[in-house]
Amino acid sequence: MAIVQCRECAQGVSSFAPFCPRCGVPNPGGHGRHTERVEVVDVDMKIGTMMVFMVKWAIAAIPAVMLIAVLWAIGAGVLASLVAGG
- Residue ranges that bind Zn ion, judged by CB under 5 A: 6, 8-9, 11, 20, 22-23
Residue 9 CB, nearest distance to Zn ion (Å)? 3
Closest to Zn ion by CB, 11 or 15: 11
The DSSP 8-state label assigned to residue 41 in this structure reads H
Closest to Zn ion by CB, 10 or 65: 10
Backbone angles phi, psi at 15, to 5 degrees: -65, -15
Q: How far is CA 49 from CA 9, 40, 44, 52, 72, in A?
A: 40, 14, 9, 5, 32
Closest to Zn ion by CB, 18 or 86: 18
